[in-house]
């Protein structure tokens, strides 16, 4: 369960036991954060909890400056944490 500062919640539950979950290659879902500093803060928080987030990356896309990283959720699924600022 993830709780947002705005009071939103996201709950992911495995309803049935699956011996081998099968996700398409590179399957993930994304969460948009506020300012880029929130992305870096979340990365540090996950790293200090030994949850092995990937390195934060910066890039330009479709007129925006983006800051992002991927983090494993288990069972081969990943979450992409990112922010986007209009360039």
- Tell me if 81 is assigned to some domain: yes
73 assigned to some structural domain: yes
Asked, for residue 45, whether it belongs to a domain, the answer is yes
**Model pLDDT for residues 12-71, shown as the tens digit of each residue:** 766 666 666 667 777 778 888 999 999 999 999 999 999 999 999 999 988 899 999 999
What secondary structure does DSSP assign to the chain, as a single string? -EE-TTS-EE-----S--SS----TT-EEEEE-SSHHHHHHHHHHHHHTT--PPPPEEEEETTEEEEEEEEEEETTEEEEEEEEEE-
Task: State the pLDDT at residue 49.
Answer: 93
This prediction's pTM: 0.71
Domain with 50 in it: 27-87
Note whether residue 84 is domain-resident.
yes
């Amino acid at each position: 369960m993830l709780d947002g500062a705005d009071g939103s919640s996201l709950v992911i539950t495995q309803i049935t036991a699956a011996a081998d979950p099968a996700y398409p290659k590179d399957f993930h879902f994304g969460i948009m954060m506020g300012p880029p500093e929130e992305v870096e803060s979340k990365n540090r928080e996950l790293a200090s909890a030994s949850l092995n987030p990937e390195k934060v990356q910066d890039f330009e896309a479709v007129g925006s400056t983006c800051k992002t990283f991927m983090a494993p959720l288990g069972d081969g699924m990943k979450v992409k944490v990112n922010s986007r600022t209009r360039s």
